[in-house]
Amino acid sequence: MKDILYSPWRIKYILSKKEKECIFCLKPSAEHDEKHLILYRSKNSFVIMNAFPYNNGHLMVVPNKHASELNDLSTDEICNLFETVRLCEKVLKKVYSPDGLNIGLNLGKSAGAGIDDHLHVHIVPRWSGDVNFMTTTAGTRVIPESFEKAYKQLKEQFDNERVEK
């Protein structure tokens, strides 16, 4: 029997009304980073909290340039994107002390990309035993921390890292 990864809590996102324009282009151009869950801006990318997270601290690093493939980005843009991913790793380790991290891209709809026209890197903190019976039996994901608290802690650490550079 093959292993199956169920994520029924994502149905809210799947069924939700989608913006006609790219949210990864709209959100960073709007004011109010906190309202849009943007934590950090680098030269060519930004860090945003996932509004439909798989776990506490689920972040995404998004290039400023609207691109669906890595080959659409310049070497400088790719370097900046992954330097920002490295920064996220550092921040998440300081804030949450996870046992591990999942870091990856889903390029294209068939690869699992919910937003396939603007690539983004997912960084998901993981802990031993972080998936419990609620997910399995009730189809409900337990995220024990509010977005407001998570944003505040993460933003503070990103700001501290910015000063340390």
- Hey, what are 36's tokens? 């849009």
**Dist CA 72 CA 126 (whole Å):** 30
- Tell me, yes or no, if 120 is annotated catalytic: yes
Q: Could you tell me how many helices (H) and strands (E) the chain has, helices first? A: 5, 5
CB 24 within 8 A of CB 115: yes
User: Token pair for residue 106?
Assistant: 């889903």
List 58, 66, 118, 120, catalytic entry? 120
Tally of domains in the chain: 1
- pTM, full prediction: 0.79
**CATH code for the domain in which residue 116 is found:** 3.30.428.10
What letter does residue 135 receive in the DSSP assignment? I
Say if 54 falls within a structural domain.
yes
Instruction: Report if residue 4 sits inside a domain.
Output: no
Inside any domain, residue 3: no
161: helix, strand or coil: helix
Amino acid sitting at position 90: K
Is 35 within the bounds of a domain? Answer: yes
pLDDT tens digits, the chain, 165 residues: what are they? Answer: 455 555 665 666 566 666 678 889 988 887 789 999 999 999 999 999 998 888 889 999 999 999 999 999 999 999 999 999 999 999 999 999 999 999 999 888 888 777 889 999 999 999 887 664 444 444 555 566 777 888 899 999 999 986 554
> Which domain covers residue 79, as residue numbers?
19-128+141-164
